[in-house]
Structure 1
Amino acid sequence: MEHGSLTDPSSATFSLTDEDHTLANSVRFVLNKDPRVVFCGYSIPHPSDNRVNIRAQTTGDSARDVFKDALQDLMVMCQHVRSTFDKAVVDFRVSEPVKQMNIKQ
C-alpha cells in the first residue's frame, strides 16, 4: 500500500503489513545510502499494530522506483551474506573434521 502526492511522485509513504523494525530499519539504511534520497525514515503506528510506514523523499526521481531499487539492493546484500556464511561453514567443516567428531561424541 502506498500513500503519496498525486502531483509529486518524489515523496511517498509505503505501508508494509506484517513487518517490524527488522525490515523497516534495513530498508531505511539502504534508502539513506542512495544519493537520490533526501529523507527516509520509518515509524510503527502502534506497538500492537503489525505494520510499518516507510517515508521516502527523493531529489526528483520517483519514490516508488527508488523504493523498489532499495528492496532489490537489500535482497542482493542478504544473498551475499547468506552465501558468505554458507561458504564459511563449509570451510570450517573441512578444516576442523577431527574436532567436530569429538564434539559429537
Structure 2
Amino acid sequence: MAAVGETKHALEMVQVNGTDESCITFVLHEEDHTLGNALRYMIMKNPEVDFCGYSITHPSESKINFRIQTRSGVSAVEPFRRGLNELIDVCQHVLNTFETTVSNYKKQKEERME
C-alpha cells in the first residue's frame, strides 16, 4: 500500500535479472478480468507474441500479473503498448456505435410522437 503523500503507479514492469526484453511481466494495479481478458485477446493476435497470459494473485487483491513473451528479439513492451492502443480503438468504436444507435432511436421515437 502506498504511504501518505506517495503516489501508487498503475503499472509496474517486472523482469528477471539476466533476461532480455522479450519476456516481461507487467503488474496492473486496480484491474481485474475485465481488462485482463480483453487485453490478452488483443495481444495474442500479434504474430510476434509466443505467449500472453494473466493471473490475479488473490481475489482480495485488485491487481493483475500480465506476462508477455515474444519471438525474434521483439521487446515485450511493443505488443503490450499496441494491444492497449487497439483495445482503446475497439472500445471507442463500440461507444460511437452505441451513441449513434441511441441517437437514432430517440429521433425515431420523436418522429412517431409527432
Q: TM-score range by the shorter chain?
A: 0.7 to 0.9
RMSD between aligned residues: 1.5
Q: Does 1:63 align with 2:108?
A: no
Q: Which runs of 4+ in 1 moved over 6 A?
A: none
Q: 1:86 aligns with which of 91, 99, 104?
A: 99
Unaligned regions of 5+ residues in structure 2, if any? 1-11
Letter in 2 for 1:50: S
- Paired residues, what number? 100
In structure 2, C-alpha distance between the alignment counterparts of 1:89 and 1:30, rounded to whole Å = 27
Structure 1 unaligned regions, length at least 5: none
Higher helix share: 1
Shift of the alpha carbon at 1:65? 1.5
Q: CA deviation at 1:24?
A: 0.7
- Cα distance per residue 1:14-68 (max 9 Å; x no partner): 0011111101111101011111111111000111111101111111311012101
Identical positions, percent: 43
Matches within 5 A, 1:1-105: 1-5=12-16, 6-59=18-71, 60-97=73-110
- TM-score of the superposed pair, with normalisation by structure 2: 0.81
Q: What TM-score does the superposition give when structure 1 sets the normalisation length? A: 0.87
**What CA distance in whole angstroms lies between the structure 2 residues aligned with 1:96 and 1:34?**
43
